[in-house]
Amino acid sequence: MQEWSAEAPSRLTVFEKKMLFIRMLRQVGQSPACGCWTPVLPVRFLGISPRQIPADANFHSASFSDTDHPRVLITGGLGQLGVGLANLLRKRFGKDNVILSDIRKPPDHVFHSGPFIYSDILDYKNLREIVVNNRITWLFHYSALLSAIGEANVSLARAVNITGLHNILDVAAEHNLRLFVPSTIGAFGPTSPRNPTPDLCIQRPRTIYGVSKVHAELMGETMQSRFFMMPQSMANSSATWKPAQGCP
């Protein structure tokens, strides 16, 4: 599936995106000497941090003991990035602590590589049961209909990308989860400034996928300000990451 929409100012191949994403994920659990972290993936990310995180916490420098690993759920896990993310997190936190989920049947090698469960993000009751029964503490939300499929079925894309997001936001708030929701270059439109495109600029995407990602970004900001009230030192945990220089 093609993740980046046709109106995107520039593109990378799926392979290049995966390699960049893997480079970013390898920094999980590492603490750079400078105390900061520079994003390497030229797409925009939205992360919603829970109230349970201390003010000096950082996803990339957190230290966990063998008995204090997070319990991770990945929705839409059979998409472009879910399986790779699961493999990396399982190496870091243990195989049984990272659960892949999707509404599709997994291939054999994925099914046997670690925990996999059926999860429909439009079924809020089921989503809550999964979080409670598996003691989930971190949630990576990748479930979405991308540009091409979304344009062919706008009503379904609206349900999955927007209603599904609201279910995720609600369950994360209810159970104090650490939540990561990726945005995309598709959130920009043909009228957005380019080379480089700033985070704060005109966003007028022309696909339902892009529109839903703009909605996700705004919902993240709203939930942070209304419910979580995170200190300024954690602003990057709930804001969109600035793209690499020269990338939209």
Residues with catalytic annotation? Answer: 209
The backbone torsions φ and ψ at residue 98, rounded to the nearest 5 degrees and listed phi first, read -125, 115
Q: Which residue reads 């994403």 in tokens?
A: 21
Name 174's Cβ contacts closer than 8 Å, sequence gap at least 6.
128
Joined together, the tokens standing for residue 235 give 């602003």
Confirm if 12 and 20 have CB atoms less than 8 A apart.
Answer: yes
